[in-house]
Amino acid sequence: MSIEVTENSAKVYLHRNEATSLTGVRKITLDPFVDHRGEYIEIYNAQLYKEAGIDINFCQDDISISKRNVFKGIHGDNKTWKLITCLCGEFYLVVVDCNRESPKFGFWCGFLMHERKNYQVLIPPGYGNGHLALSGRTVFHYKQSTYYKGSASQFTYNIKDPFFNIKLPADDDDLILSGRDMEAKFVTL
């Protein structure tokens, strides 16, 4: 799907809106405007997203800045949509189906996100996400459809849980985790 907006000769595209192996998780590819001065990328336009079938009222934007080998997550809740973008550096994004009623509970997919790869990942409620910083300075941007009310309002899963069997592009021993993420319990069925 391609939606064109013309302003001062610049064309901004929401180029593709692709399904992934997880129901409701979307990969959205953006086409930047490039000329001899550099690049221009519009990372969110409510009207264009609505026309592409993404009609979500985002109310909060957050930025997380990390150094290499920091892993944050797996966090989520059953109410919040998230739209993830890499603004600087590179990170590996993991999205996990955390709905225990889902036939795909525990299934995950990974996305290598980089400031030069112009795509976003849309994550629906009931999914958890985590990201591993792969560069010296990584800037992770996300829009949320609900206001953050603290970690007590979210679920947290351990990245090292063998139930998920998540493969990261780093050794487990090199991961830098918060207390919350280190102490996260493993799945019990």
Looking at 75, 92, 119, 127, which residue is catalytic? 75
- Checking phi first, is residue 98 left (phi over 0); if not, alpha (psi -120 to 50) or beta? alpha
Structure token digits, residue 101: 């009623």
Per residue, what are the HEC states of 147-189?
CCCCHHHCEECCCCCCCCCCCCCCCHHHCECCHHHHCCCCCCC
Cβ proximity of 15 and 31 under 8 Å: yes
What is the separation of C-alpha 97 from the centre of its chain, rounded to a whole number of angstroms?
Answer: 13
Cβ proximity of 54 and 89 under 8 Å: no
Looking at 13, 119, 142, 157, which residue is catalytic? 142
Residue matched to tokens 């996260």 = 184
Cβ proximity of 106 and 163 under 8 Å: yes
Q: Please confirm, yes or no, whether 15 is among the known catalytic residues.
A: no
Length of the chain: 189
Shortest CA distance to 117 belongs to which of 82, 90, 83, 144?
90
Q: Please confirm, yes or no, whether 36 is among the known catalytic residues.
A: no
Give the active site residues. Answer: 75, 142
